[in-house]
Amino acid sequence: MLVTIHSDEKGVADYAYEFVRQKLEGSKNFVMGLASGGTILRLFRKMVDGFAGGELDFSNVHTFNLDEYVGLKPDHPQSYAYFMGEHLFGLVNLKEENIHFLSGVAESVEGHCHHYEKQIKEVGGIDLQILGIGRNGHIGFNEPTSSLASRTRMVTLTQETILDNQRFFPGNEDVPRHALTMGVGTILEAKEVLLLATGPEKSQALASMIEGPVAAVCPASALQMHPRVPVVCDEAAAQRLIYTEHYEKMIDNEKSVEGQFGP
């Protein structure tokens, strides 16, 4: 992992945007895996601005979203399909046929998940997977104790995740208890993974992911086994890291993302 620590959320988004811009520049066929949620939203806004300013072109990009709530239709305001349409897909030149979602209302969950994995393989695999991290160390909706070899599937959300999501729904009974998610094993097959983390509430999970043991209790720790994982975080999220001086020196010596991550 290459860990870069920035002073605030803006610094994280600026760095991540430049990273994505370089990856998309001149690409003939690029496949992105996308997370959603607050941490990623600043990056999406910059990507939309980059498209509007002529810096980004999504016409040759395929996307696969990480997860979706079971029981929510794509037009539900709290579905991730709706979120992505509002904050990215409806604002750039992605081709509709190149946008891939997990369906929260699939008739055959097992068959749908198997087909999703097949679609990823058919386009040559994911070139860049963008991730956030949950307070309990989940990536996608791979909750603690998820198999580190897991594939796309339906999962039961932990009580902690359900409580975190209550603010988005009218009442507790409306919060989904299940979700579909790419598995940890699926995520690890991406050629490169860009993980963003901001805020003090992510500090314990981030420390466990980067400096703790590889263990199912922190699914994100499986990323230690991946050869290309830039981690971009702010100082608040990095506060529990032990080797912060080492990571901070990386920023001091590498002011620009230019050239850091070769082909």
DSSP secondary structure code for residue 128 in this structure: E
Identify the active-site residue in 138, 142, 192, 234. 138
Element (H, E) at 229: none
Identify the active-site residue in 9, 117, 127, 143. 143
Identify the active-site residue in 68, 127, 136, 234. 136
Give Cβ neighbours of residue 156 (< 8 Å, ≥ 6 apart).
143, 177, 178
- H runs (alpha helix) in the chain: 9-24, 38-52, 80-87, 109-122, 159-165, 184-188, 203-211, 244-253
**Which residues pair with residue 257 across a beta bridge?**
none
Contact yes or no for 58/94 (Cβ under 8 A): yes
User: For this structure, is 165 an active site residue?
Assistant: no
Quote the tokens at residue 104.
Answer: 């929260």
User: For this structure, is 143 an active site residue?
Assistant: yes
DSSP secondary structure code for residue 223 in this structure: G
Neighbours of 195 (CB within 10 A): 25
The residues annotated with a catalytic role in the active site are: 67, 136, 138, 143
